[in-house]
């Protein structure tokens, strides 16, 4: 199914709620439409590692009864959703893409799973993740070209939404694991401010760097589900959560956006560059001032920091991954080379090295915050390439790592294309200003109309 | 066994290491001495919920072989230690003082457990905790008076060390759960700077407020084990760990200490007040300037904040405990009234309320940090009373909550007594300055000689 940016993904969820309330549609019918797509596409795409259609149908029927009584529990009542398979679910195994956890039943829900259930969401299945969201890839392929990667590590979540199987799936990101696959799979992807959503019950790799994020067909759903989770599952303990209205904040035109390069720009090919430049022209023509970092010392300093984000994230991860990966290693588990490389550093790194990386991160985060006096946000490519050919070629995180390292909210919109494949436009906002970023994204979507 | 402050607790561990290296003693012999005390006292004190003497003997023998080869793995190699039973251990159940987790085998070690094993420590058993470190008490009693509480919630850890069964046991503290039982049981208790030691694999109640701490016979052991854990288990992800020398920092005289009152002073009885005043006189006679907060506006503001610490900790806990306690409730578990009361608030509290409490905490923490320009630390009672009579009378956290809420390091020294029972002298330091606090504590111990 080749990519056509003019054909929108399956309808969003929030936009269908009025029909549930009016009695013109039901969550069960919505679920059955999702299941029909799953039945058509899943054998090729392989987005799921576990499906629980029986449980989903029961949950959808219960949601339907609530809508009939005009008493839905929340904005996600009846939402068909998939969860990355490193997130614990009481009714499905949590296998983390690893033979270590084959068939692993923890018997409990992670906070975000429990919150979704309390809110009435319909948990359809567990989506494929690379091993521990870092290692070897699964069989999942890109829904727009089976010879290409869907991106990692939230491969299954991105593929399920990109294939139109689900309106929403949850992913996690340490470097680029929500944003990059969302770009490759032609959808909205959001990584909120660090700490917006609690990570307990999610297999840890580097908890101080990991973010829960969303893959969605529509921007409004991303806001609704992330805001819901931040309030109901709660933030990472000690962090502030997402404040703002229940539904998508109103469109807000950013006056000045900094153009992000990072080392990613150097490796972007001509068609990708052209698509991005054309996108910038649209924003510029709509009255947004695009600021070149080279002309503003504090922004150039930011651009210089962007290039160190990968190092900083990897260094912090090497220290934090010692648990539980030292235990897996002691038990004789053979890791994928990506994990093995990180683990080699984990054996060398000291607390002082960790402090050095944390201190860089804190200074970088402060620099990003300070930039809010000069600019309203940052615009860049979500990935320096469209989805590469070959499932093991997972692409490059370098354009996503800066926002992740800073802990600033970022999102990708499926507004660009190159080589007949989707390409995301990335917007980065400021810490705690997730609502403002979504308002800007809503405005950008209107501009691209 | 009535309390006599002139009789020190069993020898510390670090001080015995030279004998291991010299071949004059072995970790196995030390362990057997601990087991002999356990065999004598445990039937009365009931400090442990699980003992693994076979595993401990094997670990001690392995440590002995390393000392014989003059190649101990770490400063804790051969250390007999107990772990509060909310901390996961692969070789023993983790029952959390709750029928929900009766016989619960998680099959994995928490990061701190794994670090202790890697360092060669000898994990003797799991010590009694109140249910989820918050609810109903266990059968453990005070080692100096069986009619009195050992304090909670790290009851078993405090009792085991107080009875001389172990030189070191690990506890956790949300309000006062290490410091208060340490005061009641006549030992050193330390709650390091917030985040110094990773909490994964420990049953969560309010992770942004919980601290891993140590109960020890000797100050030098508390430093050695906490510094080791901070480096090897790592800090709470994103937090800085304990920096400083491997062994106890040198004694350092504090020039100026603020005297802490809190609402605890009002409820302290005459004998407790007299003991504390006599302690202050000793410090004063040794040349420490004791600062009354009433005379210094910024210190009086701090004293006013101290009184709000209990509220702030409880409010944050009410939000964070929703997971997993909403799930326990949904499964029909009947909680102890203390947990039930917190849970009632958990059902009402909003993200905005949570932010209000976090913001107070941040401002309070900043005020404590700023006080370091005026004073070298704070001195106060660890508890406003000696161990109360009756196991369900768990005493008052009000003198410990301020340092816990601020995230500042605090420790209690067994230097006072009242009514023939131990009474702790509390010292509070500044964020990240754990080494300095230990140096001051070493100096205070010398003054009390």
- A199-208, A214-223, A429-438, B1-10: lowest mean pLDDT where? B1-10
Residue A397 pLDDT > 90 = yes
Query: Does residue B71 belong to the interface with chain A, where contact is any CB pair within 8 Å?
Result: no
| Chain B residue with minimum CA distance to A239 | B358
Residue B75 counted as domain residue: yes
Residues of A in contact with B209 (CB under 8 A): 237
Cβ-defined contact of A118 to B326 (cutoff 8 Å): yes
Facing residues of A170 across strands? A83, A214
Q: How far is A282 from chain B (nearest CA, A)?
A: 38
| Chain B residue with minimum CA distance to A227 | B351
Q: How far is B113 from chain A (nearest CA, A)?
A: 11
Number of H helices and E strands in chain A, helices first, is 16, 11
Instruction: Write the Ramachandran bin of B5: left for phi over 0, alpha for psi from -120 to 50, otherwise beta.
Output: alpha
Query: Based on the structure, what is the number of domains in chain B?
Result: 1
Query: Does residue B324 belong to the interface with chain A, where contact is any CB pair within 8 Å?
Result: yes
Cβ-defined contact of B233 to A358 (cutoff 8 Å): no
Write down the pTM of the prediction. 0.97
CB-closest option in B238, B324, B350 to A208 = B238
CATH number (domain holding residue B33): 3.90.1300.10
Residues of A in contact with B315 (CB under 8 A): none
Cβ-defined contact of B231 to A350 (cutoff 8 Å): yes
Cβ-defined contact of B241 to A204 (cutoff 8 Å): no
Cβ-defined contact of A323 to B208 (cutoff 8 Å): no
Query: Does residue A434 belong to the interface with chain B, where contact is any CB pair within 8 Å?
Result: no
Tell me the three-class secondary structure of chain B, residue by residue.
CCCCCCCCCCCCCHHHHHHHHHCCCCHHHHHHHHHHHHHHHHHHHCCEEEECHHHHHHHHHHHHHHHHCCCCCCCCCCCEEEEECCECECCECCCCCCHHHCCCCCCCCCHHHHHHHHCCCEEEEEECCCHHHCCCCCCCCECCECCECCCCCCHHHHHHHHCCCCCEEEEEECCCCCHHHHHHCCCEEEECCCCCCCCCCECCCCCCCCEEEEEECCHHHHHHHHHHHHHHCCCCCCCCCCCCCCCCCCCCCCCEEEECCHHHHHHCCHHHHHHHHHHHHHHHHCCCEEECHHHCHHHHHHHHHHCCHHHHHHHHHHHHCHHHHHHHHHCCCCCCHHHHHHHHHHHHCCHHHHHHHHHHHHHHHHHHHHHCCCCCEEEEECCCCCCCEECCCCCCCCCCHHHHHHCCCEEEEEEEEECCEEEEEEEECCCCCHHHHHHHHHHHHHHHC
Q: Which residues contact A228 (CB under 8 A, 6 or more apart)?
A: A74, A75, A76, A115, A119, A246
d(CA A359, CA A353): 10
Mutate to test the interface with A, among B119, B323, B349, B431 (most CBs of A within 10 A): B323
Q: How far is A208 from chain B (nearest CA, A)?
A: 5
> What are the tens digits of pLDDT across the range A6-34?
777 778 999 999 999 999 999 999 999 99
| Chain A residue with minimum CA distance to B348 | A232
Cβ-defined contact of A351 to B109 (cutoff 8 Å): no
Question: What is the pLDDT at residue B2?
Answer: 73
Residue A353: exposure state from Cβ atoms within 10 A (0-12, 13-18, ≥19): middle
Residues of B in contact with A234 (CB under 8 A): 319-320, 322-323, 351, 354
Q: ipTM, 2 decimals?
A: 0.96
Cβ-defined contact of A323 to B207 (cutoff 8 Å): no
Cβ-defined contact of B351 to A114 (cutoff 8 Å): no
Q: Contact, A213 vs A192, CB < 8 A?
A: yes
In the A/B pair of chains, how many CB contacts fall below 8 A? 90
d(CA A185, CA A151): 8
Q: How far is A339 from chain B (nearest CA, A)?
A: 19
- Provide mean pLDDT across the span A257-261: 98
Cβ-defined contact of A323 to B240 (cutoff 8 Å): no
Residues of A in contact with B324 (CB under 8 A): 108, 111, 114
Residues of B in contact with A101 (CB under 8 A): none
Q: How far is B209 from chain A (nearest CA, A)?
A: 8
Question: What is the pLDDT at residue A386?
Answer: 98
CB-closest option in A114, A208, A327 to B323 = A114
CB-closest option in B118, B198, B206 to A237 = B206
d(CA B222, CA B215): 7
> What are the tens digits of pLDDT across the range B363-394?
999 999 999 999 999 999 999 999 999 988 88
CB-closest option in B108, B237, B240 to A327 = B108
pLDDT tier for residue A390 given thresholds of 50, 70 and 90: very high
d(CA B433, CA B442): 14
CB atoms within 10 A of CB B431: 18
> What are the tens digits of pLDDT across the range B9-52?
878 999 999 999 999 999 999 999 999 999 999 999 999 999 99
Cβ-defined contact of B243 to A351 (cutoff 8 Å): yes
> What are the tens digits of pLDDT across the range B288-330?
999 999 999 999 999 999 999 999 999 999 999 999 999 999 9
Residue B356 counted as domain residue: no
> What are the tens digits of pLDDT across the range B272-290?
999 999 999 999 999 999 9
Joined tokens for residue B48: 């442990």
Cβ-defined contact of B234 to A322 (cutoff 8 Å): yes
Residues of A in contact with B115 (CB under 8 A): 323
Query: Does residue B111 belong to the interface with chain A, where contact is any CB pair within 8 Å?
Result: yes
d(CA A64, CA A59): 9
Mutate to test the interface with A, among B246, B351, B432 (most CBs of A within 10 A): B351
Q: Are strands A122-127 and A80-84 parallel, antiparallel or unpaired?
A: parallel
Residue A325 counted as domain residue: no
Question: What is the pLDDT at residue A331?
Answer: 95
Facing residues of B316 across strands? none
Question: What is the pLDDT at residue B254?
Answer: 98
> What are the tens digits of pLDDT across the range A347-379?
999 999 999 999 999 999 999 999 999 999 999
Cβ-defined contact of A354 to B323 (cutoff 8 Å): no
| Closest to A34 (Cα-Cα) out of A70, A64, A17, A9 | A9
Query: Does residue B323 belong to the interface with chain A, where contact is any CB pair within 8 Å?
Result: yes
CB-closest option in B109, B204, B237 to A327 = B109
Cβ-defined contact of B351 to A241 (cutoff 8 Å): yes
Instruction: For chain A, give the percent of residues with pLDDT over 70.
Output: 100
Cβ-defined contact of B238 to A358 (cutoff 8 Å): yes
Taking the mean position of all CA atoms in its chain, how far away is CA B14?
19
Query: Does residue B206 belong to the interface with chain A, where contact is any CB pair within 8 Å?
Result: yes
Question: What is the pLDDT at residue A1?
Answer: 64
Q: Which residues contact A259 (CB under 8 A, 6 or more apart)?
A: A280, A290, A291, A292, A293, A378, A379, A380
Residue B268 counted as domain residue: no
Cβ-defined contact of B327 to A243 (cutoff 8 Å): no
Residue B1 pLDDT > 90 = no
Residue B402 counted as domain residue: no
Cβ-defined contact of A114 to B241 (cutoff 8 Å): no
Q: Which residue has the tokens 């910038």?
A: A280
Residue A5 pLDDT > 80 = no
Whole-number mean pLDDT of chain B?
Answer: 97
Q: How far is A60 from chain B (nearest CA, A)?
A: 20
Q: How far is B224 from chain A (nearest CA, A)?
A: 15
CB atoms within 10 A of CB B23: 10
Question: What is the pLDDT at residue A408?
Answer: 98
Cβ-defined contact of B243 to A354 (cutoff 8 Å): no
Q: How far is B358 from chain A (nearest CA, A)?
A: 7
Mutate to test the interface with B, among A237, A330, A404 (most CBs of B within 10 A): A237
Q: How far is B293 from chain A (nearest CA, A)?
A: 29
Whole-number mean pLDDT of chain A?
Answer: 97
Q: Contact, B382 vs B400, CB < 8 A?
A: yes
Query: Does residue A118 belong to the interface with chain B, where contact is any CB pair within 8 Å?
Result: yes
Query: Does residue B100 belong to the interface with chain A, where contact is any CB pair within 8 Å?
Result: no
Query: Does residue A230 belong to the interface with chain B, where contact is any CB pair within 8 Å?
Result: yes
Residue A133's domain comprises: 14-251
Q: Contact, A441 vs A257, CB < 8 A?
A: no
Query: Does residue A355 belong to the interface with chain B, where contact is any CB pair within 8 Å?
Result: yes
Residue B117 pLDDT > 80 = yes
């Amino acid at each position: 199914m080749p990519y056509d940016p003019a054909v929108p993904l399956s309808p969003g969820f929030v936009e269908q709620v009025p029909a549930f309330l009016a009695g013109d549609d039901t969550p069960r019918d919505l679920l059955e439409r999702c299941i029909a797509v799953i039945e058509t596409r899943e054998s090729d795409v392989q987005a799921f590692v576990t499906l629980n259609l029986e449980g989903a149908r029961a949950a959808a029927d219960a949601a339907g009864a609530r809508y009939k009584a005009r008493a839905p529990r929340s904005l996600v009542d009846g939402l068909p959703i998939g969860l990355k398979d490193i997130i614990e679910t009481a009714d499905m195994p949590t296998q983390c893409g690893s033979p270590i956890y084959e068939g692993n039943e923890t018997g409990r829900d992670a906070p975000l799973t429990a919150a979704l259930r309390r809110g009435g969401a319909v948990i359809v299945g567990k989506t494929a993740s690379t091993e521990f969201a870092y290692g070897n890839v699964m069989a999942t392929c890109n829904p727009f070209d089976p010879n290409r990667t869907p991106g990692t590590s939230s491969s299954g979540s991105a593929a399920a939404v990109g294939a139109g199987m689900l309106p929403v799936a949850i992913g996690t990101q340490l470097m680029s694991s929500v944003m990059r696959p969302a770009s490759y799979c032609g959808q909205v992807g959001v990584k909120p401010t660090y700490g917006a959503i609690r990570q307990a019950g999610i297999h840890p790799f580097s908890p101080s760097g990991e973010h829960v994020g969303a893959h969605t067909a529509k921007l409004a759903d991303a806001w609704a589900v992330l805001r819901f989770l931040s309030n109901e599952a709660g933030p990472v303990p000690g962090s502030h959560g997402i404040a703002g209205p229940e539904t998508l904040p109103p469109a807000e035109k950013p006056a000045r956006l900094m153009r992000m390069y990072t080392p990613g720009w150097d490796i972007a090919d001509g068609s990708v560059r052209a698509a991005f430049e054309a996108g910038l022209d649209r924003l510029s023509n709509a009255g947004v001032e695009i600021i070149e970092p080279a002309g503003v010392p504090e922004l150039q300093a930011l651009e210089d920091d962007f290039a160190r984000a990968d190092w900083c994230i990897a260094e912090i991860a090497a220290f934090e991954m010692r648990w539980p990966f030292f235990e897996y290693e002691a038990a004789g588990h053979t890791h994928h080379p990506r994990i093995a490389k990180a683990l080699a550093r984990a054996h060398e790194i000291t607390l002082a090295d960790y402090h050095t990386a944390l201190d860089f991160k804190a200074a970088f985060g402060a620099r990003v915050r300070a930039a809010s006096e000069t600019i309203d946000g940052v615009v860049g490519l979500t990935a320096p390439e469209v989805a590469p050919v070959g499932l093991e070629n997972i692409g490059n995180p370098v354009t996503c790592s800066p926002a992740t390292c800073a802990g600033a909210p970022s999102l990708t919109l499926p507004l660009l294309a190159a080589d007949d494949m989707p390409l995301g436009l990335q917007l980065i906002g400021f810490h705690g200003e997730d609502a403002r970023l979504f308002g800007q994204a809503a405005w950008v979507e209107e501009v691209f109309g």
